Amino acid sequence: MSFYECCARSLPEGSDSPSRLALSARRLGYAGIVICNSGQSPAFRPEAASAVRGMDVAWGVQIRGPNPKALRSRVASFRNRVPFIAVSASSEDLARAACEDPNVDVLIHSESARRGLGIAAARAARQNQVAIGFDLSPMIRLRGSHRIRWLRSARRNLELARKFDLSMIITASAGSHLDLRSPRDLMALAELAGFEAEEAERALRLPASLLDLNRRHWLSPGVELL
């Protein structure tokens, strides 16, 4: 049972300290949590989070680049510092740039993006092993026509991800302990959004294997420093 909540935001971007998020996630049945702030301001008491027993608290970064060039340079600067890099893309150019960068772990398609993922971007994501992240917080927060629009775009992205055999991640993108949902609740939500039960389970387990790979020292592709 190694479920991970990736892309949680802590103080000062969320309203909980990392240790509170870790405690709440442990109670809900997660094995670990990845805290993804934007990396612009220092995290609140990172050392307190490691005091929570039985939880793997990993530090990641979620990048919202203003343009593709800035995005690439920020991803490159964070790659050696953190084991998990997520990119939240609000436009097609940004999504394309993120998919073409092998340093990116997950591309999270944000709700504000009007159009879904493009075919070229999906093909690039396949080549560079970029996973597609489904942020389920709009499903929780929105009601009515906004949620319908989000569900439609999520379904389209899901079809594309299946077609190109991309790995998928689901997250609640929590900013506080009240935004966290247990793994089974997230799976139930994902099934409504069109996921198969096994796909949803695999999507919740994927961050663990990504973190495991990224924490090792790679000299070049396929060459590991032991």
Partner 1 sequence: MRSKLPVLRPRRRYVIFVAESEEPLQSKDLAQEIRSAQISLFGDEGAASNSLKLISFQAGFGILRCGHLYIQQTRALLATIFSVGGIRAAIHVKGVSGTIKSGTEKYIPKLCKISAESEGRRIELEEVSGCIIHSRGREIDINPDERTPGLGSDTRYLGLTSFDLCGGHDDADGTADGL
Rule CB under 8 A: which residues touch partner 1? 9, 11-17, 19-21, 23-24, 28, 44-45, 47-52, 139-141, 143-144, 147, 175-182, 184-186, 188-189, 191-192
How far is residue 169's CA from residue 164's CA, in Å, rounded to a whole number?
A: 15
- Omega of the bond prior to 12 within 30 degrees of 0, cis? yes
Residue 40 C-beta: closest distance to partner 1, Å = 10
Beta carbons of 199 and 168 less than 8 angstroms apart: yes
Residue 76 three-state SS? helix
Q: Give me the residue label for tokens 């089974």.
A: 184
Residue 134 C-beta: closest distance to partner 1, Å = 14
**Based on CB atoms, which residue is closest to partner 1, 130 or 189?**
189
**Based on CB atoms, which residue is closest to partner 1, 24 or 153?**
24
Residue 129 C-beta: closest distance to partner 1, Å = 30
For β-strands 106-109 and 84-89, DSSP reports them as: parallel
Nearest to 74 by CA among 85, 84, 83, 90: 85
Residue 26 C-beta: closest distance to partner 1, Å = 11
Residue 215 three-state SS? coil
**Based on CB atoms, which residue is closest to partner 1, 49 or 86?**
49
**Based on CB atoms, which residue is closest to partner 1, 80 or 145?**
145
Residue 16 C-beta: closest distance to partner 1, Å = 4
**Based on CB atoms, which residue is closest to partner 1, 102 or 140?**
140
Residue 110 per-residue DSSP state: P
How far is residue 183's CA from residue 74's CA, in Å, rounded to a whole number?
A: 31
**Based on CB atoms, which residue is closest to partner 1, 113 or 142?**
142
Residue 105 C-beta: closest distance to partner 1, Å = 23
33-71 in b/e form (b: 16+ CB < 10 A) is bbbbbebeeebbeeeebeebeebbbbbbbbbebeebeeb
